[in-house]
Amino acid sequence: MKPQNAACPCGSGAAYAACCGPCHRGVAAPDAERLMRSRYSAYVLGLEDYLFATWHPDTRPPTLDLNAPPRARWLGLEVKRHAVQDAGHATVEFIARYKLNGRACRLHETSRFVRHQGRWLYVDGDVGQ
């Protein structure tokens, strides 16, 4: 389910086809915030391959099964801050809201990203604050 003209799941206000869609089709994200948004959208849309491809090999889990219960129902993303340390390092602070087993949850994370061979990759993040 990837309606090209529908609003992008990342909440940018743009259409999916003009926002996270190109990243999901293989276009390199121009900066860490766009990569982070496209990864959130990939969780919403269940694009496990994309999450793997944009996760640093040193920190990504061996497997990822988005359909394994309990399955999160993603409700929205709010990007609080995008800080660029240098050409190869950036952090993005965000709040993602979701429901798990009917309970409302909130993930507040500051994620670290590195740029490797022209592509931004998610490394890891600090949860809270």
Can you give the binding site for Zn ion, defined by CB under 5 A? 8, 10, 12, 19-20, 37
DSSP bridge pairs for 127: 109
Nearer to Zn ion (CB atom), residue 3 or residue 88: 3
Q: For Cα atoms 45, 59, 10, give the angle at the middle one, nearest 5 degrees.
A: 25
Q: How far is the CB of 85 from Zn ion (least distance, A)?
A: 23
Nearer to Zn ion (CB atom), residue 9 or residue 125: 9
Q: How far is the CB of 108 from Zn ion (least distance, A)?
A: 20
Nearer to Zn ion (CB atom), residue 37 or residue 39: 37
Q: How far is the CB of 9 from Zn ion (least distance, A)?
A: 7
Q: Which residues contact 88 (CB under 8 A, 6 or more apart)?
A: 114, 115, 116
- Among 86, 76, 89, 85, which Cα is nearest to 35's? 89
Q: How far is the CB of 29 from Zn ion (least distance, A)?
A: 10
Nearer to Zn ion (CB atom), residue 10 or residue 47: 10
Please report which residue ranges of 13-78 form alpha helices under DSSP H.
Answer: 21-24, 32-45, 48-53
